[in-house]
Structure 1
Amino acid sequence: MTGCSLRSRVRRLSVFEGAEAVEAYFCGHRFSPHRHDTYTLGYTICGVQRFRYRGAERFSRPGDVFVLHPDELHDGWPGTDEGYGYRAIYLNPGLVSDALGGAPLPFLAEAVSRQPSLRTAITEAICDPAETQDSLAPVAAVAALADTLATLEGKRRSASRQIDAIKMTRIRDHLEATAVSSVGVSSLEREYGIDRYSLSRQFRACFGVSPWRFVILRRLDEAKRQILAGASLADAASISGFVDQSHMTRQFRQAFGLTPGEWRRLLT
């Protein structure tokens, strides 16, 4: 090793209320032992991340995910001269408890693993900055993180298996009819008499996607119709309920693997 190939830096990422998220790179920096009052959920991007946690030395490499529990002492330093980078979300444990219906917080004995479901949940929790705090997106993110932690711990929530299919169908029809307008989760809770996490969990069980993802896909359906009818990309985004064209483009790429402009050119 001849020295660090990275520049130490920290970039804050967009995330929902009750959490913080960062993308960080460190070279030569050593964290002294410290504690958070949050869950720390992340994955290593590059290099080797080395730390002591619960009396043992740990190593996290690219492709690994790590989970540090609230109030657990840990430190951190580069595992090689090359430095390391990671993405992490710091999640208020109260949100996890709420999402699990007040159940005890899940605990994972293994701090470092290669659980794809956990990496997916962490990645999807980092919000599109266009999403508001009362949208369905943060609810889906917290529910997915909490469910993944509970599943990996090995605990099941019997109450979550109770599905009100009739109510879910009514909510689906409501979301489909109002997808291009702003859909507030608080109003859905009031109208249908169900808490936001039960709504998100039951909806996914019935229809395979979260309510937020369902709304986004219906907006994309409308955007495609508008583009096919000759609307500009900016007008298609506005008519379909997206904040702006860039918001539509991000979601379009995530859903279809190409931008709206690329899709339009392929059809001509």
Structure 2
Amino acid sequence: MVVRQEVSAWRPQIPGVVEVFHAHFTEHAYPMHVHDVWTLLIVDDGAVRYDLNRREHGTPHDTVSLLPPQVPHNGSSATSEGFRKRVLYLDLTQLDERFIGPAVDDPDMNDPLLRRRVGQLHAALSRRGDELEAESRLALVGERLRSRLRPRLVADAPVAGRGVAQSLRELLDERLLHGVSLDEASKLVHAHPTHLVRAFTAAFGIAPHQYMMARRIDRARRLLLDGRPPAEVAAAAGFYDQSHLTRHFKRLVGITPGRYASRVPSPGRGAVGAKPSATRRDRAPA
């Protein structure tokens, strides 16, 4: 089998869309990680299996998967031939935090209309000069997502105590660039180091060091999309040096920061790289 790692990534000038990411992988497997934004995923070839909130999920034909922010997940091919996917990373202006719970409960939506609209949005985002169309199609996608998730919204539960897990997550977010040792964290949070690690992992389904590394990789991706060189990005995202960034970036994203950056288009140009073309159903009327 030929090993493929084809990636195209860019940030369009469309409010609400943090990143567009197209990829074709045959062997890459994503480790457990988190994002601080929504992950809207469609698979064009093959299938992906993933764990979200300690439950296994998959992407059968015509499924649209919506993975919420701050909820750990992984991912790998469900077939020996690999998978080809298109991903939109959307900020919380498109879906606010109220929808995280419903998305955790049912992230995979078998909805042909939504699938077609997401495909049409990808096609518009891939073309220069079609910003108004892309904004219009994003509005339709957001409307459809909210209509699917809203019936499962429940009344807000009483706010419980934050607990050491939440306190540690806030501390990790504050110290994202400079880091924090477990001993220092335990003193600041007032909990034994072992209890701190166990409580965080039990609460969020991911170890503290995995959480921090995933957040740093997200930051590195944004900086690379801004056109900053990998060596500069390494320091700006909290890594010891470029080799440290490269090792973790390749493990999580599937390619090196240099190759990722080389697929970022120059200002004013359309996206470049291995970009799946729109399918017939993507070109159908909305």
TM-score, structure 2 as length reference: 0.46
Higher gyration radius (CA): 1
Q: Which has the higher contact order (CA 8 A, sep 6+)?
A: 2
Give the TM-score normalised by structure 1.
0.49
